A and B are shown apart, each in its own frame.
Chain A
């Protein structure tokens, strides 16, 4: 039998049959739904008089356009309220379970799936959200889809797909102290470019990946889409099983034993062929900071902002010049000389308990700079409660941070959490596109520890030299 990749194995297992003219019909095990990309899909079902085929494999939550302060059951924004109410109505009408704003499980869709044990190895998982790649950290095939495809999955529990290519990314060597999963993925995207993995499913491997916790693996897989990849995945191992065991929707008892045995086979066979391979030495990666207007425009904190002359053709030179103008930066500015006005610690990339702990450890015993407004937005209510149990919220509030309710918040600024024009933000989110966090806002992507250090120092500093007061 030919050697197969992890991706091949999951694909083959979910392939119903090869459809007409080379198309593939893929069965979907788990469909996650949120308020922004689903209303038109449910409306489509209604118009065509169709039902949700497997409501028990479908889970909905509210995360994108909801407030992170105040009484969240009363939404002042009329448009947001309409969208939230549409999801409630759709879930009632189509029998889809919903984690509403007052539910103890509410949170960012890609944070709650794993923490509830819904996300499991070997599954196919989709959601109308590009960061669905997060769930690949468990050895699942997970990818973002548009609203038309959301409707297709709701109606059929299947999706018509063309099989993507495969890419192996090996992080060799051990990651240095103070260097995180966020730095690994930013370094990769800086190397391959934001379309470097277009049309591919990435499998991350190597010593540095094996050493990562589940939460850190999720950060890596989360940003696969920022390198253009359809999905990112990591073969499950003991770290995966330890994380999942005992979670609410994970198999229990005998079913667990059986599942664990089967999950252990979910690895690429020796000699399995990938369409392309990228090697990166993790030991040489420093904390990364983006300086431009896409996630590939990034530099080590010890480096500087490049000039347009770094571009290899006119198009790249124009892009860099445009980015510098938008970001209000001049070429050759040292990264450590860039000061910030805002710090956002949150998002499906970096708002899990470990992220919050890592930021709290930096902040402990310090006050944030007078010129900085800092905001911590836990990824879920469960993360928020766990952090509060450890007293982390007090470390933040005593330092001058705001401690908020869970949601997507200023990652995309659909709610009131936004940058003002010209404001510069150190953000643990995933996109630094123009206007992403608010029209005219300037985003620098960093790890939670780097964001916390920037809040205290008022500028970017190398967190590897941080004086911890713990």
Chain B
């Protein structure tokens, strides 16, 4: 897995609640059998008009967000379908971290398995960031070692993440490899379960 330690980047804001994974990547792009190559179709139906031209009314098409690597999202981001393609598309587009008041469970899991950090901040701090966005382009530093988000102008907020996920991300660990090392335990469990049922 790609590791995540400290990342500083431009913040793009998408102030909509309950953005579902069907919007993040529509169904017609789920037929590919690769893990990469989804960046161009991220938010396809919102991002492009019927003639396949970028729709200027879609926030991420704003020129100042070019090169953004941190997404500031609304509550319950990533709800709906479990499609990991949604995370692959966000990652391929360039996002390394997503900050929101809340995330849907499966989506958040999928992000963390792909080295994309989900940061939950309280609504008041999200509102502060959205106010910053209205005032113009800004950058944030997302520091997983310190579990802290900070930016110029004095913004600073702590966030929580469970210890194991944090270690996996910091060290870019192969979670499957770690579980496979516990083969003896798994085999023992299987033996006792067969007797026990």
Residues of A bordering B, CB below 8 Å: 16-17, 19-23, 25, 27, 36-37, 39-40, 43, 48, 50, 53, 64-65, 77, 79-80, 82-83, 86, 128-130, 144-149, 151-152, 155-158, 160, 162, 164, 194-195, 198-199, 225, 228, 230, 258-259, 262, 294, 315-316, 318-319, 322, 412-414, 431, 433-436, 439
Q: Indicate whether A145 sits within 8 Å of B162 (C-beta atoms), given known contacts A27-B193, A195-B18, A414-B28.
A: no
- Whose C-beta in chain A lies nearest to the C-beta of B188? A16
Distance in Å from the Cβ of A153 to the closest Cβ of chain B? Answer: 10
B105 contacts chain A at the CB level, 8 A cutoff: yes
- Whose C-beta in chain A lies nearest to the C-beta of B163? A21
Docked-complex contact B18 and A194, CB < 8 angstroms: yes
> CA A48 – CA B180 in complex, angstroms?
12
- Whose C-beta in chain A lies nearest to the C-beta of B31? A79
Give residues of chain B (156-183) contacting chain A, Cβ–Cβ below 8 Å.
162-165, 167, 175-177, 179-180, 182
A23-B162, A319-B16 are known contacts; what are 20 more A-B pairs with Cβ within 8 Å? Answer: A16-B189, A19-B182, A25-B182, A27-B193, A37-B82, A37-B84, A39-B33, A50-B176, A146-B83, A146-B106, A147-B84, A147-B110, A148-B110, A149-B113, A155-B179, A156-B179, A157-B186, A160-B164, A259-B197, A431-B80
Specify which chain A residues have a CB less than 8 angstroms from the CB of B91 in the assembled complex.
Answer: none
B23 contacts chain A at the CB level, 8 A cutoff: yes
Docked-complex contact B23 and A16, CB < 8 angstroms: no
- Whose C-beta in chain B lies nearest to the C-beta of A412? B27
Docked-complex contact B109 and A21, CB < 8 angstroms: no
Docked-complex contact A79 and B114, CB < 8 angstroms: no
> CA A151 – CA B20 in complex, angstroms?
24
B3 contacts chain A at the CB level, 8 A cutoff: no
Instruction: Tally B residues with Cβ within 8 Å of A.
Output: 52
Give residues of chain B (120-155) contacting chain A, Cβ–Cβ below 8 Å.
none
B26 contacts chain A at the CB level, 8 A cutoff: yes
> CA A79 – CA B84 in complex, angstroms?
18
Docked-complex contact B179 and A152, CB < 8 angstroms: yes
> CA A36 – CA B82 in complex, angstroms?
11
> CA A22 – CA B190 in complex, angstroms?
22
Closest 9 interchain pairs by CB?
A: A148-B113, A21-B163, A39-B33, A146-B110, A23-B164, A79-B31, A146-B84, A195-B76, A21-B164
Distance in Å from the Cβ of B185 to the closest Cβ of chain A? Answer: 6
B74-117 CB mask vs A (1 if < 8 Å, else 0) is 11100111111001000000000000001011100110011000
B51 contacts chain A at the CB level, 8 A cutoff: no
Docked-complex contact B180 and A155, CB < 8 angstroms: yes
Docked-complex contact B80 and A16, CB < 8 angstroms: no
Distance in Å from the Cβ of B149 to the closest Cβ of chain A? Answer: 21
Q: Indicate whether A144 sits within 8 Å of B106 (C-beta atoms), given known contacts A20-B164, A23-B162, A40-B35.
A: yes
Specify which chain B residues have a CB less than 8 angstroms from the CB of A316 in the assembled complex.
Answer: 17
